[in-house]
């Protein structure tokens, strides 16, 4: 999707993972010494987009990334790791 379509289709806040999905009790958080550039599938209510972002933490099940929405709003997002 291009950035203009992303702007039109998405709200300002992505849908993050729930506490149950993160399962931090059984999946400890690891943090890099510096953010790592990534592209992630990010869910919004209206659409799913794939922005450039930076991974700042992860578990075996999820990655926490920081990125800008098409509107320029910066957000933290919990993204599930594919199996």
What is the spatial distance between Cα 29 and Cα 72, in angstroms, rounded to a whole number? 28
pLDDT at 83 (0 to 100): 42
What is the reported pTM? 0.68
Query: How is the chain split into domains, by residue range?
Result: 3-64
Q: pLDDT 10s per residue in the chain (83 long)? A: 566 666 666 556 777 788 888 888 998 999 999 999 998 888 877 778 888 889 999 988 888 888 776 655 655 666 666 54
47: tokens are 């659409």
Give the Cα separation of 22 and 77 in Å (integer): 12
């Amino acid at each position: 999707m291009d950035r203009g379509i992303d702007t039109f289709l998405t709200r300002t806040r992505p849908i993050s993972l729930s506490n149950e999905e993160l399962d931090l009790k059984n999946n400890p958080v690891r943090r890099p010494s510096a953010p790592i550039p990534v592209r992630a599938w990010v869910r919004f209510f209206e659409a799913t987009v794939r922005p450039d972002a930076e991974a700042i933490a992860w578990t075996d099940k999820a990655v926490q990334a920081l990125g800008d929405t098409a509107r320029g709003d910066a957000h933290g997002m919990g993204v599930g790791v594919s199996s």
